[in-house]
A and B are shown apart, each in its own frame.
Chain A
Amino acid sequence: GQQVMQIPQYQHVQEGEDFTTYCNSSTTLSNIQWYKQRPGGHPVFLIQLVKSGEVKKQKRLTFQFGEAKKNSSLHITATQTTDVGTYFCAGRDHQAGTALIFGKGTTLSVSS
């Protein structure tokens, strides 16, 4: 079945450093979504990318969707302690239909 892989699994940075997490799907996706889960919390939707090659920005966060619609990335510029948490990508296979499949997530820790 469809698999969504994310790397790295863990990342520690100093406050002010940049951070990137990568997401790869075994199949072509209809869209890719990104979620953030704070420690002890539940996943919260950040953004959705639909078009091939799409790039979206939210303040210090930049999201990209690959040309083949099989990979994506999330880049955070100048991390802050409030960025701490686990970032998940999730996608729907463009053929198989409707189940939202999540990657294993990247857990970001930030030291000040």
Chain B
Amino acid sequence: DGGITQSPKYLFRKEGQNVTLSCEQNLNHDAMYWYRQDPGQGLRLIYYSQIVNDFQKGDIAEGYSVSREKKESFPLTVTSAQKNPTAFYLCASCWDGTMNTEAFFGQGTRLTVV
């Protein structure tokens, strides 16, 4: 089946630890995105990537880092610098970020930092 997979679904970490969220797609999409969702805040853009080895900061990139070494993969690292990391994280992909195409979302990872 083609799709976009995020893992794990639930993640618990201690404060001060870095944690990496996985996002893999087999849709052959060029563009990939990371969003953070908090209650009442909608989806806020963290980072996005249009092609391999290239990515741009979104509105709330501070405390996060990404890499795009492969077309299929766009992992997100939540660093200890992120002040309030507990949230629902959604990864999405599009056929081509410069065209008018729909975004496909993964199931999300709910991160809880204690």
Contacts and interface: CB of A to CB of B under 8 A. Distances in A.
Interface residues of B, number: 27
Contacts of A99: 33, 45, 48, 56, 58, 97
B102 interface: yes
A50 interface: yes
Contact of B45 (A30, A88, A101, A105): A101
Taking chain B's interface residues, is the majority helix, strand, or loop, or is none over half, making it mixed? strand
A43 interface: yes
Interface string A93-112: 00001111111110000000
B59 interface: yes
Contact of A90 (B58, B103, B104, B106): B103
B105 A44 contact: yes
B107 interface: yes
Contacts of B76: none
Interface stretch (B20-28, B34-42, B66-74): B34-42
Contact of B50 (A44, A98, A103, A104): A98
Interface string B71-114: 00000000000000000001010100110101111111000000
Size bin of chain A's contact surface = 20 to 34
A28 interface: no
Nearest to A103: B42
Contact of B94 (A1, A50, A100): A100
B59 A1 contact: yes
A98 B103 contact: no
A101 B92 CA distance: 12
A50 B59 CA distance: 24
B100 to A, nearest CB: 5
Given A97-B98, A99-B45, A101-B45, A9 B40 contact: yes
Interface of A: 1, 6, 9, 30-31, 33, 35, 41-45, 48, 50, 88, 90, 92, 97-105
21 contacts: A1-B59, A6-B42, A9-B40, A35-B103, A42-B90, A42-B106, A42-B107, A43-B43, A48-B100, A97-B97, A98-B48, A98-B97, A99-B33, A99-B45, A99-B97, A100-B48, A100-B92, A101-B45, A102-B42, A102-B45, A105-B42
